[in-house]
């Protein structure tokens, strides 16, 4: 068997617009795992926000991997432990937080199974916490509380004008030491330099000894562009952002039309 590795974004890719894995998609993913292929979930979410999908696909038993925080961490689903972890040095907490306050942005990071903020809570933060099934906690002194190296921080802003402007400003201020990008129109994500889905996937391929040409990456969001470009076969969902489609080898049906089943049938089965 020519072993393949199928790497999937979660929101807008694995799950439909109701945040559900359809039965048809679930069964197809279980079938290829039973055949010996590897399924990987790659998301901007923290690992606690991915676990329900890991469990639904029995990835802890089948030997799958989870790439969390947009590439900041690789977790072996069998053990639940990280095998790769790349963090933002702690000395960046204050300047990032000061920028968020000065520009009226929301800012969160993560600790254990909590989403942590020191700014005013907005709808986008609440959505992030709700999406990941994690409580949102506002702390009085954010800089003192976050006394550890963050894997990722997330800033929130109105999507049309403010988020693009702040994304560019943050890049000018912190690149190349930090990686700044938008995963959604209203989310500005920040990781340490060299962290994105593609670089972490390259590391994972080394760990599992599968050649790049046997990798299939499927996504829909801005932060999926690098992995879609990198993959042996890069797939954009029918509902993907245009930049993802522009860089894809193949455009499949949308997440509401079982687009992943089409990919599995065409490129694996």
Q: How far is CA 79 from CA 59, 61, 63, 138, in A?
A: 11, 10, 10, 31
pLDDT at 1 over 80: no
CA distance 86 to 267: 32
pLDDT at 69 over 90: yes
pLDDT at 182 (0 to 100): 87
pLDDT at 184 over 90: no
Work out the average pLDDT over 212-217.
Answer: 98
| pLDDT, tens digit (0-9, with 9 covering 90-100), for 9-20 | 999 999 999 999
pLDDT at 167 over 90: yes
Sign, CA dihedral 58-61-64-65, equals positive
Q: What is the average pLDDT score of the chain? A: 96
Assign 222 a pLDDT band (cuts: 50, 70, 90).
confident
Assign 215 a pLDDT band (cuts: 50, 70, 90).
very high
The three-state secondary structure class of 192 is: strand
- Which pairing describes strands 65-68 and 38-42: parallel, antiparallel, or unpaired? parallel
Work out the average pLDDT over 165-183.
Answer: 94
| pLDDT, tens digit (0-9, with 9 covering 90-100), for 18-55 | 999 999 999 999 999 999 999 999 998 999 999 999 99
- Hey, what domains does the chain have and what are their CATH numbers? 5-86+195-267 (3.40.50.1000), 90-192 (3.30.1240.10)
The three-state secondary structure class of 182 is: strand
pLDDT at 237 (0 to 100): 98
pLDDT at 183 (0 to 100): 80
Question: What whole-number percentage of the chain has pLDDT above 90?
Answer: 93
pLDDT at 223 over 90: no
């Amino acid at each position: 068997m020519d072993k393949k590795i199928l790497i999937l974004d979660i929101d807008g890719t694995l799950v439909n617009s109701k945040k559900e894995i359809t039965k048809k998609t679930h069964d197809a993913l279980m079938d290829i795992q039973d055949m010996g292929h590897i399924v990987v979930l790659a998301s901007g979410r923290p690992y606690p926000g991915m676990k329900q999908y890991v469990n639904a696909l029995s990835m802890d038993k089948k030997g799958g991997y989870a790439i969390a925080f947009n590439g900041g961490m690789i977790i072996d689903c069998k053990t639940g432990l990280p095998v790769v972890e790349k963090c933002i040095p702690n000395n960046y907490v204050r300047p990032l937080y000061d920028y968020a306050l000065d520009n009226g942005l929301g800012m969160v990071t993560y600790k254990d199974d909590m989403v942590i903020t020191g700014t005013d809570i907005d709808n986008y933060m609440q959505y992030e916490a709700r999406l990941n099934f994690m409580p949102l906690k506002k702390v009085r002194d954010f800089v003192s509380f976050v006394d550890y190296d963050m894997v990722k921080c997330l800033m929130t802003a109105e999507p049309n004008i403010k988020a693009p402007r702040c994304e560019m400003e943050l890049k000018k201020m912190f690149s190349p030491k930090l990686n700044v990008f938008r995963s959604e129109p209203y989310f500005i994500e920040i990781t340490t330099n060299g962290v994105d889905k593609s670089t972490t996937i390259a590391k994972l391929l080394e760990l599992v000894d599968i050649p790049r040409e046997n990798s299939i990456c499927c996504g829909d969001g801005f932060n999926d562009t690098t992995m879609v470009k990198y993959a042996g076969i890069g797939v954009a969902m029918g509902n993907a952002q245009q930049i993802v489609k522009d860089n894809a080898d193949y455009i499949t049906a949308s997440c509401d039309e079982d687009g992943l089943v089409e990919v599995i049938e065409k490129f694996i089965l």
